[in-house]
Amino acid sequence: MTGADSVPMGRLILVGAGPGDPDLITLRGAAALGRADIVLFDELASEELLGLASVAAERINVGKRGHDPPTRSQDEISQLIIDGARAGKVVVRLKGGDPFIFGRGGEEASACVAAGIPYEIVPGVTSALAAPAYAGIPLTDRRHSASFAVVTGHNDPGQAAKGIRWRELGSAVDTLVILMGMRNLRSLLGELMDGGTAPETPAAAVMNGTRPEQRVRVATVESLADAVETAGLKAPSVVVVGAVASLRETLSWWEVSPLFGMGALVSRAPHQASELASALRAAGAIPSIRPLIDLSASDGAEELIAIDASLAKLESYDHVLFSSSNAVRFFIEHVERCGLTGKLAEFSARVLCIGEMTARAAMDAGLRVQFILSADGGDAQAMLEEILRSSSPRGQSFLIPGSDISREVLPGGLREAGAEVDSVAFYRNRRPEVDAETLRQDLVAGALPLLPFASPSAVRHFGDLLDPASREASKRCIIAAIGKTTAAALSEIGLPAQVLPRRPGVREMVKALEEFVAERRQNGELPGWPGEEDA
């Protein structure tokens, strides 16, 4: 477009979201979501993936679930893409699996070609490959299979789908993968047997493949439909027909993950929830994201006066001490607000950080970190002891950016030792709106057997929400604390942590949970692995 009043043409980015596990999106797909002005997503898209888009991005559900009617027709979706791009927007069409494998990506790309809209394709991990892999079923194996085919079992009105020759397929390849075939499974398997596929040929159905809710049934072509019906498996499922399905018995790996199928509360602030959710999911747990803390930059008149006063004399401090990555984040936000970013590379204060994640956040922000407290028990008390042990802080000046509910362990201890300390609330820590009744019900029902906590404030907010029944239910859960300070807060509310990592950290806490649960299972103190009956 040209002319003073013209709008530069936007573009479409067709992004494959992967098979269900949000961690399986490609790096390029995640980057595209971060650039999006508009995200058109399918019904099964993960909330975590949608969270990769900017807060300002418009999110529109255009998908459907299973055989339900679509939220939008294909023509409507194509028109949304064209209208958005013509308005100069970057439109991301987020599609499950891969856009060009039964995802109508070709139709949407063709609509862009006809309308003169530029576009690009970001391939995704298709469930045809990923779901069998997570079930321990390789589609090719030189002992059993040298070829495979992927076919839709959906009653699609398209001419290509009408021409599928099911009877010939069974003998054409060693392994057959059927997507969207659960509604017609019995008749499809019957067609294969009528075409010469032996009834005793191994076959499997994988529901919710790659997710902690994954369920698998292995049977034969003759018996799979009955096995699936008895087990209650439904869409979305992937069906595999061929000798390779028998390998699951020895290659199953996902369901034996230590925390597989166990619900876990993720109470961190929204911008931090994905790290814990990802770590839990990688261990097989089902993360339930319910933020119990909400962090925001301090913006009250008195708060800003104190912040601005500390930043005005930033170069005079001997030390700036960060106790969390949140402290770093909001410190930088206020530095930028005051137009002082350029001074960060010049000021001579020693930057001290509690924890490697805090140090990484500081270094990413351009700060030169001189000391990282990362040993066992890395918390405010440990940092105070380290400072007092290394040299006397008497006469030294410290700036400690924190929240409005920060503890006084460090500032108080340093002042007692003769230091000058400005402990300034750069951000606020509040409890967001929470569906307390549903949380209590889930605790009582045993839907959240894992309760990992990453901050004392989340612990206190959690305790405030409990009634007698849910408090008793919480005592039956496996409770983990990220560090000693959080563990102390749990003890204060009468829910002591059974799990404490050797070093504070999200990944370390989840690893400690894995070890604790594995040991209890081995000792017969917990039920067997979920999904064992599917092997």
359-407: per-residue pLDDT in tens?
999 999 989 999 988 744 467 888 898 899 888 899 999 999 999 988 8
**Can 484 be counted among the known catalytic residues?**
no
**Can 193 be counted among the known catalytic residues?**
no
Say if strands 215-220 and 202-207 run parallel, antiparallel, or are unpaired: antiparallel
Domains and CATH numbers, the chain: 11-125 (3.40.1010.10), 129-251 (3.30.950.10), 263-292+433-522 (3.40.50.10090), 296-430 (3.40.50.10090)
- pLDDT higher than 90, residue 115: yes
- Catalytic one of 21, 37, 42, 442: 42
d(CA 89, CA 378): 46
Nearest 5°: the CA angle 364, 367, 370 is 115
172-231: per-residue pLDDT in tens?
999 999 999 999 999 999 999 999 999 999 999 999 999 999 999 999 999 999 999 999
- pLDDT higher than 90, residue 55: no
Are residues 185 and 153 in contact, defined by beta-carbon separation less than 8 angstroms? Answer: yes
d(CA 95, CA 17): 6
Element (H, E) at 82: helix 74-86
Residue 102, sorted as left (phi over 0), alpha (psi -120 to 50) or beta, turns out to be left
d(CA 153, CA 344): 60
239-297: per-residue pLDDT in tens?
999 999 999 999 999 999 989 999 999 999 888 888 899 999 999 999 999 999 999 99
Q: Percent of the chain scored above 70 by pLDDT?
A: 93
Q: How is residue 461 written in tokens?
A: 């907010």
Sheet of 263-266: strand order equals: 286-289, 263-266, 450-453, 478-481
Position 162 scores a pLDDT of: 60
Helix 105-115 vs helix 74-86: crossing angle, to nearest 10: 40
Cβ neighbours of residue 527 under 8 Å, at least 6 residues apart?
Answer: 521
Are residues 419 and 397 in contact, defined by beta-carbon separation less than 8 angstroms? Answer: yes
CA atoms within 13 A on the CB side of 78: 16
Using alpha carbons, select from 514, 52, 32 the residue that is nearest to residue 273. Answer: 52
**Can 42 be counted among the known catalytic residues?**
yes
Using alpha carbons, select from 102, 101, 106 the residue that is nearest to residue 12. Answer: 106
Highest mean pLDDT among 51-55, 89-93, 274-278: 89-93
- Catalytic one of 89, 95, 98, 180: 180
Q: How is residue 235 written in tokens?
A: 């869409």
d(CA 440, CA 290): 12
- Find where tokens 């009582």 sit: 444
d(CA 107, CA 122): 15
Are residues 117 and 11 in contact, defined by beta-carbon separation less than 8 angstroms? Answer: yes
Q: Which residue type does 46 have?
A: S
- Catalytic one of 9, 23, 64, 234: 64
When computed from its CA atoms, the radius of gyration of the chain, rounded to whole angstroms, is 27
